[in-house]
Structure 1
Amino acid sequence: MPAEGRPTVRSRRLGAALKRYRQAAKFDQPQAAEALGVHPTRISRIESGHVKTRIAEIRVLLSAYGIDDAQVRVKLEDLAKQSKHRGWWLEHAEHLRADYLDHIALEDDATHIRVWAQALVPGLLQTPAYAESVITASPIYVAPERVGQTVKVREVRQAKIEEGGAAFTAIIWEPVIIHPLVRAEIHREQLARILEVGSRQNVTVQVLPLSAGALAGETSAFASFSFGAGPIVEAVTLENLRGTSILESPEDLAAYTLAFDHLRSAALAPDASAQLIQRALQRSKDDAS
């Protein structure tokens, strides 16, 4: 557990999963506590992620809830083991917001990452120069001496995608591609980077065209994460001026899954998206010559 008992993303995910299985089995917390031989407050703290959950406790609870699926049991046991491990991002904890560290932890565990980018190129696709430009332009002040470190963290995050550690799908609104928000040479480098990463087997880049109309304005930027073999959304993050919010309720996950499906259906196919990006890159080169 982090300092002052703050739940980690992994401990919250584990607790939320155990809570879902308890409720599906129609157990209340006192009944779960009786099965485990503990006080009900222990169940409450397990489900909120405020305590480390022992493997033996997970096994007893899942058996009580009638969960015999070996994959489910292994997944939750692995999550309990991972929650004890120190992630690379904690080396930067002194300089980064706790909610941003939570976002990185979700990325690091994810098997599928989906991003809707309404205003900026997604962080997992940004070049160092583009990242520095948008960080320094942000209304959220970052001390000059920490800008480079923040850019470096963004680069390290990208290793997850570069090494094929997750399937990554990005839907980017057309104005992000055709209207530079940074210097022209940085924008050209960024477009080339999107084309290069987008050609990888585990990456899909689609552009939502202006012709999609009001759809782009209906949903603000978000990222969704899956942690199993299938692309079932298990967490969503939203960024705002106050930080990053993490959504995990079934209702929220269903809403953002549907929103992404609508965006993907309205977006250009990957090949057509690459052609649009290539044309924007060529126009920028022509303008510079």
Structure 2
Amino acid sequence: MAEQGPTARQRKLAALLKRYRDEAGFIQEDAAELIGIERTKLVRIEGGRRIPTVADVEKILDAYGPADETTRRGIIRLTEQVRQRGWWAPFTDVLAGSYAELEHAADRIRMFQVQLVPGLLQTEDYARLLIAKHFPDLPEEEIDRRVQVRMTRQAMLKRKNPPRLEFILTEEVLRRPVGGRDMMRDQLGHLLAASTRPHVSVRIIPIDRGHYASIGGGNLVLFEFNSVVDLNVAYLETIVGGRYEENASQVRACSLIYDRLAESALPEDESAALIGTIMKET
């Protein structure tokens, strides 16, 4: 499972405040003295281990020098939002770390999946089977609860202003008969229908491509934002769990990998045709 810890908003705020201190040329000791707080408090704020008040952030911004008014308002608004709870708050045992919050807030999500259909595009039956197999000792009511959480996440596809969703899947995902032929046929039909939404792109890397970028690696998700106060985040999934990458250079490297994966993927129309062909064969 992914790490627990600060929310996506708190991570973002902490990273922004650290970046502004670095750009102002202050070390933490000097910055804390200028702001009028203990250095340990500043360390915890910048580390995402303490939520600052609006007054704290205003003092910090004043100490580091004038920021343009749009950026300042954005940071203050972000500070206010840190303490707000989203629909996912009661389900922290199911949705590890900041994943659901990032998913909800992003302007664009780019995802590469190696083995399974992504959760946002799964049918209820497909999702239920995966959850039941992954957690064989869970009672039926808890499986129902986890399935409902996954279906609730999918509501973002029907939002008035949904994010741009771009998926790259390997052909193996389509040919893996999860739950048998009937269930997989329904899942492929659902995937094909989702790909017709104007804000959704589904592209397939065919088996006959042979080698492709990052072959042998795990899944990759990029959460991307338009706002100047939002920081892009990469989520990397491996067999031992997932981790968030927020370092700007590492996120850019992940974005470059995704771009290289896209070079191996079929165009959207050819991908849809391949999904349809496999659905008929299933």
- Residue aligning to 1:132: 128
Contact 1:110 1:226 in 2 (8 A): yes
Work out whether 1:183 is the aligned partner of 2:175: no
Q: Amino acid of the residue matched to residue 110 of structure 2? A: R
Q: Amino acid of the residue matched to residue 264 of structure 2? A: A
Q: CA deviation at 1:204?
A: 0.9
Work out whether 1:227 is the aligned partner of 2:233: no
**Taking structure 1 as reference, are residues 27 and 147 closer, same or farther at Cα in structure 2, changes over 3 Å only?**
same
Query: Which digits, 9 at most, give the CA deviation of each residue in 1:235-288, with x for residues without a partner?
Result: 11223455432111223212211111111122111111111111111222xxxx
The whole-number CA distance in structure 1 between the counterparts of 2:181 and 2:72 is 52
Contact 2:219 2:238 in 1 (8 A): no
Q: Does the residue aligned with 2:269 lie in a helix, a strand or coil?
A: helix
How many residue pairs get aligned? The number is: 275
**Taking structure 1 as reference, are residues 75 and 272 closer, same or farther at Cα in structure 2, changes over 3 Å only?**
farther
Q: CA deviation at 1:86?
A: 1.3
Work out whether 1:53 is the aligned partner of 2:52: yes
- Residue aligning to 1:144: 139
TM-score by length of 2: 0.88
The correspondence for 2:153, drawn from 151, 157, 160, is: 157
The whole-number CA distance in structure 2 between the counterparts of 1:224 and 1:268 is 20
Query: Which digits, 9 at most, give the CA deviation of each residue in 1:48-89, with x for residues without a partner?
Result: 112222223323433443462344333322222221111111
The whole-number CA distance in structure 1 between the counterparts of 2:174 and 2:86 is 33
- Residue aligning to 1:287: none
| Greater alpha carbon shift after TM alignment, 140-149 vs 183-192 | 140-149
**Taking structure 1 as reference, are residues 15 and 161 closer, same or farther at Cα in structure 2, changes over 3 Å only?**
same
The whole-number CA distance in structure 2 between the counterparts of 1:8 and 1:260 is 25
Contact 2:218 2:237 in 1 (8 A): no
Q: CA deviation at 1:182?
A: 2.6
**Taking structure 1 as reference, are residues 150 and 101 closer, same or farther at Cα in structure 2, changes over 3 Å only?**
farther
Q: CA deviation at 1:181?
A: 2.7
Q: Percent identity?
A: 33
Contact 2:6 2:97 in 1 (8 A): no
Q: Does the residue aligned with 2:88 lie in a helix, a strand or coil?
A: helix
Q: Amino acid of the residue matched to residue 194 of structure 2? A: V
Q: CA deviation at 1:142?
A: 5.5
The whole-number CA distance in structure 1 between the counterparts of 2:66 and 2:45 is 18
The whole-number CA distance in structure 2 between the counterparts of 1:13 and 1:225 is 12
- Residue aligning to 2:99: 103
**Taking structure 1 as reference, are residues 6 and 172 closer, same or farther at Cα in structure 2, changes over 3 Å only?**
closer
The whole-number CA distance in structure 2 between the counterparts of 1:29 and 1:101 is 27
Q: Amino acid of the residue matched to residue 72 of structure 1? A: T
**Unaligned regions of 5+ residues in structure 1, if any?**
285-289
Q: Does the residue aligned with 2:98 lie in a helix, a strand or coil?
A: helix
- Residue aligning to 2:270: 272
Q: Amino acid of the residue matched to residue 71 of structure 2? A: V
Contact 1:161 1:167 in 2 (8 A): no
List aligned pairs for 1:192-203, cutoff 5 A: 192-203=189-200
Q: Amino acid of the residue matched to residue 182 of structure 1? A: G
Q: With CA pairs under 8 Å and 6+ residues apart, which has the higher RCO, 1 or 2?
A: 2
- Residue aligning to 2:14: 15
Q: CA deviation at 1:205?
A: 0.9
**Taking structure 1 as reference, are residues 25 and 186 closer, same or farther at Cα in structure 2, changes over 3 Å only?**
same
Q: Amino acid of the residue matched to residue 109 of structure 1? A: A
Work out whether 1:206 is the aligned partner of 2:213: no
**Unaligned regions of 5+ residues in structure 2, if any?**
none
Q: Does the residue aligned with 2:111 lie in a helix, a strand or coil?
A: strand
Contact 1:35 1:60 in 2 (8 A): no
Q: CA deviation at 1:210?
A: 1.6
TM-score by length of 1: 0.86
Contact 1:206 1:269 in 2 (8 A): yes
List aligned pairs for 1:54-133, cutoff 5 A: 54-66=53-65, 68-93=67-92, 95-96=93-94, 100-133=96-129
The whole-number CA distance in structure 2 between the counterparts of 1:277 and 1:56 is 54
